[in-house]
A = this chain, B = another copy of it.
Amino acid sequence: MVVKLVVAVRKDLDMGKGKIAAQVAHAAVSCAIKAMKEKKKIFDEWMDEGQKKIVVKVPNVDEIYIIKKKADSMGIINEVIQDRGYTQVEPGTVTCIGLGPDYEVYLDDITGKYKLL
């Protein structure tokens, strides 16, 4: 089964592409390290398969927490990322959520309905 990591990014914030990339990278690193410790087998599969990653967009912060609630209930690793706020957004602003790495079939149940960023 395919293993992937998904990052869902808020599209209601005025972030440039470098800012978005840094936030998504933050989510991916945090999730990957958590998975390495808590879901070693899935983490190894993900690395062996080439670290598949998908970036999707969600309308607002409420959607981030809806995703988090669903991921928590399914036992899927997730990390909500808050920006330090040096530039572009206010300190503490939630910018994105990372999910997985985990089996694609489970992740698609949570984020399959969102469009790619």
Contact = CB atoms under 8 A, between A and B. Distances in A.
Interface of A: 5, 7, 9, 16-18, 20-30, 32-33, 36, 47, 50-51, 53-57, 84, 116-117
Copies of this chain present in the complex amount to 2
Contact of A28 (B28, B47, B50): B28
A32 B16 CA distance: 24
> What is the interface of chain A mostly: helix, strand, loop, or mixed?
helix
Contact of A29 (B9, B17, B18, B51): B51
B32 A51 contact: no
Contacts of A18: 55-57, 116-117
A37 to B, nearest CB: 11
